[in-house]
Amino acid sequence: MGKDVEVAILFADVVGSTQLYEQLGDVKARQMVGRCLDIMREATEANRGTVIKTMGDEVMSTFPTADEAMNAAKRMQERISIDAELDHGNGHVAIRIGCHFGPVVQEQRDIFGSAVHTANRMTSQAKAKQIITTLGTVQKLSQEWQAATRQIDIATVRGKADEVVLFEVLWQPEEATSMLPTVGQGRNKAARPKRLSLRYQGREVTVGEGRKSATLGRAEDNDVVVKGNLISRVHARIEASRDKFTLVDESTNGTFVQTNAGEEIFVRRDSTQLTGEGVIGLGRVAQPGTALAVHFVVEE
């Protein structure tokens, strides 16, 4: 029978692992991913955590306290960022981390509940070398750790009725970019993105400036029609809300986003914020300039 407990749930995964396999080959890429998993496991166990499961290039762990989760997250980021074995010809392997403190149902060696989904979605909000968490988790932290956090966004997270306040945990505070202490309606409007342009096979669709959303999929009534056997009829949609653009996946096979900054994001029945520019692949990774690549640009 399950047991109700409150824990800090942490997800950590390797950024751009699909691209890593393509660039380095299966053997070398697998060695690097395995090295990252070893570091994640060691950092978890060194801070009284429990590794619940590993899934490909990702680790899910739990901790008795929020502080111990952050200590582990910091250790993971520090060790991976300086590990010489993770250097390769195109750069250095990086990870992203999401964390949330909340109630779960514990059954044998697994956990269940909405808090698990929230923690996982914090990972999808994180970029390479980032640790992202929720307001509720920050409130559970010691004053020392609270001083190392900053609010970065207010996001709509799939499956939750209310918006979630997102915080970045500054494990490298000397490298953090200066920003306002809170994020909300009062931020400088001149700095807000004004529109997102989608370009596919010579056609351009703009979201923002009057248009609140656009759909992508194989059905002819989508705003961007992309044909393919892995593409759902209505595969994904992009929504404009306040000062951001969110891609919401509604497909069977998921959506792949590759940014020009080198990030690779996979979403399935979930959402992610689009920034900068890059390529969207429906159902599979789409290389820039190929027949299935939908190019996007967020313009300010």
What the block records as the tokens of 137 is 């988790």
In a domain, 184, yes or no: no
Q: How many CB atoms lie within 10 A of CB 34?
A: 12
What the block records as the tokens of 26 is 């299966």
What the block records as the tokens of 120 is 């996982």
- Measured distance between the N- and C-terminal CA atoms of the chain, rounded to whole angstroms: 53
Distance of CA 198 to the CA centre of its chain: 21
Q: Which residue's entry shows tokens 């994640």? A: 40
Of 72-86, 142-156, 183-197, which gets the smallest average pLDDT?
A: 183-197
Q: What is the pLDDT of residue 261?
A: 83
What the block records as the tokens of 146 is 């609270």
Give the CATH number, domain containing residue 169: 3.30.70.1230
pLDDT in tens, 115-137: 999 999 899 888 889 999 999 99
Q: Please give the backbone phi and psi of residue 33, each rounded to the nearest 5 degrees, phi first.
A: -60, -45
Apex 110 CA angle, 104 and 111, nearest 5: 15
In a domain, 182, yes or no: no
Mean pLDDT, the chain, whole residue set: 88
Domain end among 142, 175, 208: 175
Give the HSE-up count for residue 95: Cα atoms under 13 Å, Cβ half-sphere: 32
Q: Is the pLDDT of residue 184 over 50?
A: no
Do 19 and 158 reside in the same domain of the chain?
Answer: yes
What is the crossing angle of helices 26-45 and 66-82, to 10°? Answer: 140
Q: Are 232 and 253 in contact (CB under 8 A)?
A: yes
Q: Is 87 helix (H, G, I), strand (E, B) or coil?
A: strand
Strands (E), 95-138: 95-107, 110-112, 131-134
Overall pTM > 0.85: no
What is d(CA 116, CA 58) in angstroms, rounded to the nearest whole number?
A: 14
pLDDT in tens, 213-245: 999 999 999 999 999 999 999 999 999 876 789
Do 26 and 171 reside in the same domain of the chain?
Answer: yes
Q: Which residue's entry shows tokens 């820039």? A: 288
Do 163 and 194 reside in the same domain of the chain?
Answer: no
Name the residue range of residue 246's domain.
Answer: 190-299
Name the more confident of 3 and 179: 3
Q: Is the pLDDT of residue 139 over 60?
A: yes
pLDDT band at 160 (very low <50, low <70, confident <90, very high): low
Do 262 and 159 reside in the same domain of the chain?
Answer: no
Do 240 and 136 reside in the same domain of the chain?
Answer: no
What is d(CA 133, CA 19) in angstroms, rounded to the nearest whole number?
A: 26
Do 142 and 194 reside in the same domain of the chain?
Answer: no
Q: Is the pLDDT of residue 285 over 60?
A: yes
Q: What is the pLDDT of residue 52?
A: 96
Give the CATH number, domain containing residue 228: 2.60.200.20
In a domain, 77, yes or no: yes
Domain end among 175, 207, 233: 175
What is d(CA 53, CA 111) in angstroms, rounded to the nearest whole number?
A: 10
pLDDT average, residue stretch 169-192: 55
Q: What is the pLDDT of residue 162?
A: 64
Q: What is the pLDDT of residue 179?
A: 46
Q: What is the pLDDT of residue 192?
A: 56
Of 68-72, 118-122, 166-170, 207-211, which gets the smallest average pLDDT?
A: 207-211
In a domain, 104, yes or no: yes
pLDDT in tens, 256-283: 999 998 888 998 888 888 999 999 999 9
What is d(CA 38, CA 10) in angstroms, rounded to the nearest whole number?
A: 15
Distance of CA 202 to the CA centre of its chain: 30
Q: How far is CA 137 from CA 95, 118, 222, in A?
A: 20, 11, 39
Torsion sign (Cα): 71, 98, 130, 173: negative
Q: Please give the backbone phi and psi of residue 157, each rounded to the nearest 5 degrees, phi first.
A: -105, 130
